[in-house]
Amino acid sequence: METLLPNKLWNERLFTGTWVPGEMPATTVTSPGNGQPLGTLANAGAEQVERSAREAAKAQRNWFALPYEERASVLRKAAAIAEQYQAEIADWIVRESGSTQAKAGFESSITIKSLHEACALPSRSQGEVLPSTAGRLSIARRRPLGVIGVISPFNFPLYLAMRAVAPALATGNAVVLKPDPRTAVCGGLVIARIFELAGLPAGVLHVLPGGAEAGAALTASPSVAMIQFTGSTAAGRKVGEAAGRHLKKSLARTWRQKLADHTRRRRPRPGHRQRHLGGVPAPGADLHVDR
């Protein structure tokens, strides 16, 4: 079977609908497990992020104009591709992030589930009939925002990126994804390749690894309608403040919020199997804290 993400495809390349060089200095991807180099990662600068946002805005209009069955079909194909290459995807999580095999297998499984769930979104109701006076009809219609900027973290890189990307695409939005530079392959370029093979029209998804400059440009871009951020509380505050200055929507999931939402303060039962997911609200995740 062919590999999902051959090195020759992504080395010194990022994804804008096609695989192109980055405009910032490339960095070496090194496995934290054994120190071996895995490849060379392209990085985007502020100007490249802004161009991608504008291109995504143009592509989004045609993407939303497609029949909903076609959008759902792309999501179904993406789920099938993720299932086909699940072992390779889990291996990337292990090699790039230093994950255990068990955690990588769990993460790849719930990522596939998130894709299957997104498949149902294109056919959901897009509005409702509102109360109105006799002889009049008031209708509220839900429309996509346009371009969604996603800034994703390193600890659950694939799942936390995909659970933002897949629903946004399914509902007719375009996405510019900036994965954490520590896990930009398994948390970004793998997603780009899955949707490329699934037939997503070029320009609807951009995956741009990069540092703080790229994140700031994504938040500030007038072509981006909303920022979805997952990460530290300090960084989440900065993203929220920047989005507010530009009068755009933002959704921030921060570690402090997740711990408050998902920690059950009790003593672990003797012999009880525990799993620590860094506060990630993943299916089946428990975080036990001693009193």
Strands 19-20 and 127-130: unpaired
Q: What CATH architecture applies to the domain 14-21+40-123+142-260?
A: 3-Layer(aba) Sandwich (3.40)
pTM, two decimal places:
0.86
Amino acid of residue 202: A
pLDDT computed for residue 255 by the predictor: 67
Rounded CA separation 109/104 (Å): 9
d(CA 55, CA 147): 10
Four-CA torsion 212, 223, 204, 188, nearest 10 degrees: 10
Tokens representing residue 100 in the block: 């255990």
Closest C-alpha among 68, 112, 61 to residue 87: 112
From the CB of residue 57, how many other CB atoms can be counted at a distance below 10 Å? 19
Q: d(Cα 159, Cα 165) in Å, to the nearest integer?
A: 10
Interatomic CA distance for residues 50 and 213, integer angstroms: 11
Q: In the prediction, which pLDDT does 289 show?
A: 41
Note the pLDDT of residue 243.
Answer: 83
pLDDT of residue 244: 84
Query: What pLDDT, on the 0 to 100 scale, is given for residue 102?
Result: 97
Annotated domain spans of the chain: 14-21+40-123+142-260
Say if residue 118 is exposed, middle or buried (CB neighbours under 10 Å; 0-12, 13-18, 19+). buried
CB 201 within 8 A of CB 47: no
**For residues 147 and 56, is the Cβ–Cβ distance under 8 A?**
yes
CA distance 137 to 51: 41
CA distance 224 to 168: 13
Q: Is 105 helix (H, G, I), strand (E, B) or coil?
A: helix
Interatomic CA distance for residues 207 and 161, integer angstroms: 11
Query: In sequence order, which ranges of 135-291 are alpha helices (DSSP H)?
Result: 157-170, 190-197, 212-220, 233-245, 255-262
Sign of the alpha-carbon dihedral angle for 221, 223, 226, 229:
negative
What is the pLDDT tens value at each position of the chain, 291 positions in all? Answer: 689 999 999 999 999 999 999 999 999 999 999 999 999 999 999 999 999 999 999 999 999 999 999 999 999 999 999 999 999 999 999 999 999 999 999 999 999 999 999 999 999 878 888 899 999 999 888 889 999 999 999 999 999 999 999 999 999 999 999 999 999 999 999 999 999 999 999 999 999 999 999 999 999 999 999 999 998 888 888 888 888 888 888 888 876 555 445 444 444 454 444 444 544 545 434 343 444
Q: How far is CA 273 from the centre of its chain?
A: 29
Closest CA to 170 of 54, 248, 69, 80: 69
